[in-house]
Amino acid sequence: MDYFRMYRRFVIIYIKGKLEYHLSLLFELIANTILIGVYFVGFNVIFHNFNSVAGWNKYEVLFMFTTSWLSYSFSCFFFWSPMQILVN
């Protein structure tokens, strides 16, 4: 239970830390949005030259990519970023 409380504390500290620098947070949100756009462009370049990858078409590949990105983002929010406080 103590571990859970400590973890919750880490998440709160992390969110507060993020909200402290407004410009940095805004920049981070924009950067993340454009970043995923760049990956989409990359996929489009590949599918500009190929119809499919081992039978998977463009939309199927994009769906898999975004699903993986979503789970990665959740894991970063709940685990990686709060735990970074321990490292620093």
Partner 1 sequence: MRKYIDYIVIGIKEHMVYPSAIWAKLFSKIIYLYLQFSIWTALFSSHSQINPLINREDTLKYIIVATIISAFIECNTIEWINAQIQTGNIIMELIRPIDFRKMIFSRHLGDSIVKIVFYCIPLSMLAIVAIRKPLLCQGQILCGFLSIILAYGIQFLYSLIIGLLAFWLIVTWPLNMLLGAIYKLLSGAWIPVTMFPDLLYKINFFLPFRAIYAIPVTIMKSQMNTQNIWKDIRTQLIWIIFLFVITEIIWQIGKRKLIVQGG
Which residues lie near partner 1 (CB under 8 A)?
Answer: 21, 23-24, 27-28, 30-32, 34-35, 38-39, 41-42, 44-46, 48-55
Please name which of 65, 19, 25 lies closest in space to residue 42, comparing C-alpha atoms.
65
Reported as type and span, the H/E element at residue 53 is strand 52-53
Residue type, 49: N
Shortest CB 80 distance to partner 1, Å: 14
**Closer CB to partner 1, 3 or 50, in the complex:** 50
Between CA 11 and CA 7 the distance in angstroms is 6
Measured from the CB atom, the residue of 11 and 61 that comes closer to partner 1 is 61
Nearer to partner 1 among residue 6 and residue 63 (C-beta): 63
